[in-house]
Each structure stands twice: as C-alpha cells, then as structure tokens.
Amino acid sequence: MKKLLALGALATVLFVAAPASAQDDADAAEGSSWVFPVGNAAAYLGAAIGAGLVVMGAARGIGNIGSSATESIARQPEAAKDVSGAMLLSAALIEGVALFGVVVTLLIALK
C-alpha cells in the first residue's frame, strides 16, 4: 500500500509539473528549449527531485550491498577478504553512477 501511495504522489507531482514547464514562443527566441529551460522554476524543482531520487537510490543499493556482505561474512568468515573486495567494488560503481546522475541533473538545472 505504501508503494502505491508513493507512486500516486509521484505521478501527481509529475502531472502538475508538466503544464508548469510548458514552453512559450518567447522562450524559444532566447535559446531555451524543453531540455534546457532558461529561468524555469519547474526545471529547478525537477532537477532537485531527480538528484534526490538518484542519491536515495544509491544509498539504498549500497545499504543492501553492505547488509548482504555482512551476512555473507558472518556465515563464512574465511571468505571475508573476497566478500569485502567485491562489496567495495560494487559500492564504488554505484557511487559513480549516483555522482553522474547528480551532475546531469545539476547541468540541466544550471543550463
């Protein structure tokens, strides 16, 4: 039920934000486009929400990796070195993707 409520709230926000970010002909003359709006508050809000979602997803993924690695080490202590190496590599890759996502959303907002 919580997932359905969260999905409904997200859909409502996106549905309300779509008309607010509509482009006028005056904006097109200034070099603005629907991908890189200039001075559009909805674009800044969307970029902030996007960056927040990226960071929350990365935190959830790294938390799951840490939890699974801790369980694996508890069950097989002799494999701790292999498990921790794989855990650190996976966490670093997730952090890289999260950083890329945040940079993209900030570039969209600051364009």
Q: Shortest CA distance to 83 belongs to which of 64, 95, 92, 70?
A: 70
pLDDT at 92: 93
Question: For 31-69, how does the pLDDT look when each residue is reduced to its tens digit (9 = 90+)?
Answer: 555 555 566 677 777 777 888 888 899 999 999 999 999
Provide the whole-model pTM.
Answer: 0.59
